[in-house]
């Protein structure tokens, strides 16, 4: 069963729109629909659905937002309102590796600013941007809760403590 009673061919999107430009694969659509079906009757589950859908697709292209709105029976404008409010959600495609640099107080006091500057100048990206080759996203996060290791940076699932401007480029080399 799908969210909005449409079948999903490769070229036809959730809600009947032609989807030639979409990067969402049929498998991903199927997973998204499973997510919606699992939660559609739970009040307040929108954020959970969005989180799980983003895990599948990586970000929110417009057709995905439309599909979720329809499937959850929530106005598209409300869905967009929620997506744009929370920092976890992204409206643009992400890089292969997300670098989350902690910009919390402890990390700031211990010199995260220099680390960010070094990454920014090496890869030509600022906070919130993705490198042209989609290798890295640079994201500022307000305290990762590992302040004991400040300054802290998370790349993908790996937490790196006590990073320094000196060593950070070396450390990023293995993420290709």
Partner 1 sequence: MREEYAARLHAPNMRHIFICGGTGCHATGSIAVKDRLVEEVAARGLGETVRIVETGCNGFCALGPLLLVHPDNIFYQKLSADDIPELVEEQLVHGRQVERLLYRDPQTKKPIPHFGDIPFFARQQPWTLRNKGIINPESIEDYIGRDGYLGTAKALLELTPESIVQEMLTSGLRGRGGAGFPTGMKWQFAQRSPGDVKYVLCNADEGDPGAFMDRSILEADPHAVLEGMIIAARAINAHQGYIYCRSEYPLAVRRVQIAIDQARALGLLGRDILGSGFDFDVEIYQGAGAFVCGEETALMRSIEGKRGMPRPRPPFPAHKGLWEKPTILNNVETLANVAQIMINGGAWYASVGTEKSKGTKVFALSGDVNNIGLVEVPMGTPLRSIVYDIGGGIPKKRKLKAVQLGGPSGGCIPEAHLDVVVDYEEIAKVGAIMGSGGAIVMDDRTCMVDMARFFLDFIQDESCGKCTPCREGTRRQLELLEKICAGNGEEGDIALLEELSAMITESALCGLGQTASNPVLSALRYFRDEFDAHITHKKCPAKRCAALLDFTVNAEKCKKCGKCYQTCPVQAIAWQKKEVAVINRDICVRCMSCFEACPFDAID
- Contacts with partner 1 by CB under 8 A lie at 43-48, 50-51, 78, 81-82, 85-89, 103-111, 113-114, 117-118, 121, 141-150, 152, 158-161, 165-166
Tell me if 151 sits within 8 A of 102, measured CB to CB.
Answer: yes
Site for ligand FES in 58-77 (CB under 6 A): none
Contact of residue 33 among ligand FES, partner 1, none (CB under 5-8 Å per partner type): none
End-to-end CA distance of the chain: 39
How many Å apart are CA 124 and CA 36, to the nearest integer? 38
Look at residues 18, 16, 19 and name the one whose alpha carbon lies nearest to residue 5. 16
Residue with smaller CB distance to ligand FES, 134 or 142: 142
Judged by CB under 6 A, the residue of 24, 50, 65, 102 near ligand FES is 102
CA torsion sign, 16 to 94 to 81 to 154?
positive
SS3 content of the chain, % helix, strand, coil (to 5): 45, 10, 45
Q: Judged by CB, which is closer to partner 1: 93, or 161?
A: 161
Instruction: Give yes or no for residue 36 binding ligand FES (CB under 6 A).
Output: no
Angle (CA) 75-79-84 rounded to 5° is: 145
CA distance linking residue 83 with residue 61, whole number of Å: 11
Question: Given the complex with ligand FES, which of 18 and 162 has the nearer CB atom?
Answer: 162
Question: Which residue in this structure is represented by tokens 């009673």?
Answer: 5
Residue nearer to ligand FES on the CB measure, 58 or 140: 140
Which of partner 1, ligand FES, none has residue 101 at its interface (CB below 5 to 8 Å by kind)?
none
Nearest 5°: the CA angle 108, 135, 157 is 60
Considering only 42, 84, 92, 105, the residue that binds ligand FES (CB under 6 A) is 105
Q: How far is the CB of 135 from ligand FES (least distance, A)?
A: 24
| Nearer Cβ to ligand FES (31/114) | 114
Binding site for ligand FES (CB under 6 A): 102, 104-107, 143-148, 150, 152
């Amino acid at each position: 069963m799908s969210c909005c009673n449409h079948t999903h061919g490769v070229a036809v999107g959730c809600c009947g729109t032609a989807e030639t430009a979409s990067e969402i694969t049929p498998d991903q659509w199927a997973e998204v629909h499973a997510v919606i079906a699992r939660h559609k009757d739970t009040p307040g589950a929108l954020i959970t659905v969005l989180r799980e859908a983003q895990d599948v697709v990586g970000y929110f292209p417009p057709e995905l937002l439309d599909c979720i709105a329809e499937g959850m029976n929530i106005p598209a404008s409300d869905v967009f309102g929620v997506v744009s409010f929370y920092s976890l959600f992204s409206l643009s495609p992400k890089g292969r590796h997300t670098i989350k640099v902690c910009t919390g107080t402890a990390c700031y006091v211990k010199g995260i600013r220099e680390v960010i500057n070094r990454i920014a100048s090496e890869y030509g990206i600022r906070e919130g941007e993705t490198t042209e080759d989609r290798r890295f996203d640079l994201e500022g996060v307000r305290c990762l809760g590992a302040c004991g290791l400040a300054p802290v940076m998370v790349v993908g699932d790996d937490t790196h403590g006590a990073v320094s401007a000196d060593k950070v480029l070396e450390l990023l080399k293995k993420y290709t």
